[in-house]
Structure formats: C-alpha cells, structure tokens
C-alpha cells in the first residue's frame, strides 16, 4: 500500500502487551527492526520472540518511561543494535480511574508522570539520533479521552492525553527543520488487557456506544501508526488521527438507534 519502510529502526514503548504489542507486530511484518520496550522484560521478550519467529528482527528492552536514565539507555541500545532510530512510537500509558474528591496527588502525579512526562522523556532521548540522521517519525498514542471526550474517573488521564497534543504541536514545529514529523493517534475503545481490567459491564457499555458496534483492535491502531511512519505521510506533522469506529460522533443515544 505504502512505500516500504523495510529495515527501518523502530522503538515502541509499552509494547509488552496491548496496543504497543500490536504496533510492534505490525511494523515487524513490514520488515522493520524493532526495539520492543516495556517495564517488565518478560512481556517485551515474548513480543520480540513472536516477531523473530515470524521472520522479523526484534530485541526486547526493559525500561520505565518515567525515568530519564532508562529512556537514554533505550535510545542508546536502539542505535547500537540497529544503527539509528527512524521511528519512535511513544505508546506507554496507564489509565487507572479515580473521581475528583477521591483522587490523590499521588494518583494525579503517576498518570501525568507516565503518560505526559513519559512522552517528553522518550521523545527527548531519541532526538539526538534522529537529528543526526535528519530523519524521524514520532508517533504518540494519545486518546479520544481528553482531546475530544471526557469520562468520569479520568480527569487526570484526560489531562495527560490532551497534554500530549499540546506537546506535539510545538515539538512538530521545532523538529520540522530536521526532517522529523510528530503526529498522534487518538484511539477510541480498543480491546486490550488494560481495557479488560475495567470489567465486563464497562466493556459492554463501551461497545454499545460505538456506531460500528465493536471495540477497535490493536491492528486498527497499528495501521494508523504505519500510515504516519510511511514516506507518503512525510508532509504531515503536528496532526492527530481518531481511530474509534465512529465513537465520538453520536449526539445522543438516539443517534445509535438505527
Ligand atoms: P495495556 O494493555 O495496559 O499495556 C500498556 C503497556 O504499557 C504495557 O506493555 C506496560 O508494560 C507499558 N507501560 C505502562 N507503564 C509503563 C512505564 N512507566 N514504562 C514503560 N512501559 C510502561 O494498555 P493499552 O490499552 O495497550 O494502552 C496503550 C496506550 O494506548 C496507552 O497510552 C493508552 O493511554 C492508550 N489508549 C488505549 C486505549 C484502549 O482502549 N485500550 C484507548 C485510547 C488510548 P508492563 O506490562 O511491563 O508494565
């Protein structure tokens, strides 16, 4: 479909499961060299093994996106192993719930620290290699929650995901002269382990609110990442793409009764 990104060096954070795993597998199928990153080595190692078993190139790396030293070591490892960093998918994120009144300062800090500061630290660590090559594709996993919608219990999460877009717009301007694009995917409700933890009742209601009447798959999101990584998207930067089966569209419940 697109110009090949075969042999591109790709880092995916939060790739031990869920959307990150889906992105890593998809880029693996395209012949990219993957650094599969998650906090726990086991998860990342299992995904890297899957890619290698399918004939691809992948290496696992354990790192916490909230730690600057970990992010610098991650970038160093990608360059040492694969020679460059062409694509960064800054995907690691958490979505615990707490309503205002019950939400503690620690609750707020851990969500902002992981989702927003983690984006800053992972992007910053990869910039020297991208700037040296005067090429880069940075793809953030944001969300519809925050930038477009709200949901009780997720004020901290929504702030972190909207914050990623504010970060992205200025980063896109600063990095454009270096041939680096920065774009974001805004997934709706995507079937992942993390989402399953919200419980069956919540999943059922989420599914019913989607015009396509299904949750998204990790491949739906990965395909959008592939587009932003492609040569065909070279002139697109600072933009966001909603991948949600129409979830943000209905004005009311009545709009879904067709
Ligand atoms: P998930 O199934 O819970 O997977 C999250 C991944 O992120 C895991 O590999 C986890 O690694 C990693 N991770 C978490 N904290 C980390 C940290 N501090 N440092 C490094 N890695 C860390 O989540 P998901 O549903 O795939 O979500 C992935 C991204 O998509 C998040 O940014 C989320 O906000 C966004 N998103 C998800 C949905 C959805 O419906 N699922 C919708 C919109 C946006 P370990 O297992 O090793 O801890």
The pLDDT tens digits of the residues spanning 120-165 come to 999 999 999 999 999 999 999 999 999 999 999 999 999 999 999 9
Write down the domain spans for the chain: 2-238
Has 235 been annotated as catalytic? no
Beta bridge partners of 35: 11, 59
Q: Using the mean position of ligand 1's atoms as its centre, give its distance from the Cα of residue 111 in Å.
A: 11
For residue 172, the SS3 value is helix
Report the candidate in 81, 162, 63 with the shortest Cα–Cα distance to residue 122: 63
Predicted structure pTM score: 0.98
14 lines ligand 1 (CB under 6 A): yes
Residue 56: CB within 6 Å of ligand 1?
no
Q: What separation in Å is there between the alpha carbon of 202 and the centre of ligand 1?
A: 18
What superfamily would CATH give domain 2-238? NAD(P)-binding Rossmann-like Domain (3.40.50.720)
What's the CA gap between 179 and 8, in Å, rounded? 15
45-54 LR contacts (CB < 8 Å, sep 24+): 46/16, 47/15, 47/16, 47/17, 47/21, 50/25, 51/24, 51/25, 54/25, 54/28, 54/29
Q: How high is the pLDDT of residue 2?
A: 75
Q: How far apart are alpha carbons 252 and 256 in whole angstroms?
A: 7
Q: What is the pLDDT of residue 1?
A: 62
Is the Cα dihedral 219, 224, 228, 231 positive or negative? positive
Residue nearest to atom 23 of ligand 1 (CA): 194
> What is the 144 CA–ligand 1 centroid distance (Å)?
15
């Amino acid at each position: 479909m697109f110009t090949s990104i075969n042999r591109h060096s790709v880092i995916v954070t939060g790739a031990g499961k869920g959307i990150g795993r889906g992105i890593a597998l998809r880029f693996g199928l395209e012949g990219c060299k993957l650094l599969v990153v998650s906090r726990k080595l086991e998860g990342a190692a299992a995904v890297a093994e899957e890619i290698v078993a399918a004939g691809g190139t992948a290496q696992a790396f354990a790192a916490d996106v909230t730690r600057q030293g970990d992010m610098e070591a991650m970038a160093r490892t990608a360059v040492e192993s694969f020679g460059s960093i062409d694509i960064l998918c800054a995907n690691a994120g958490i979505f615990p719930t707490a309503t205002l009144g019950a939400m503690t300062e620690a609750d707020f800090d851990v969500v902002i620290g992981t989702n927003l500061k983690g984006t800053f630290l992972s992007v910053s660590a990869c910039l020297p290699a991208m700037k040296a090559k005067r090429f880069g594709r940075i793809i953030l996993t944001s969300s519809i929650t925050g930038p477009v919608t709200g949901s009780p219990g997720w004020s901290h999460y929504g702030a972190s995901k909207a914050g990623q877009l504010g970060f992205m717009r200025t980063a896109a301007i600063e990095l454009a002269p270096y041939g680096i694009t920065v774009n974001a995917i805004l997934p709706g409700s995507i079937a992942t382990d993390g989402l399953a933890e919200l419980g069956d009742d919540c999943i059922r209601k989420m599914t019913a609110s989607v015009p396509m009447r299904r949750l998204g798959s990790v491949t739906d999101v990965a395909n959008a990442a592939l587009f932003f990584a492609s040569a065909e998207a070279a002139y697109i930067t600072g933009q966001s793409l909603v991948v949600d089966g129409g979830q943000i569209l209905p004005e009311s419940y009545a709009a879904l009764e067709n």
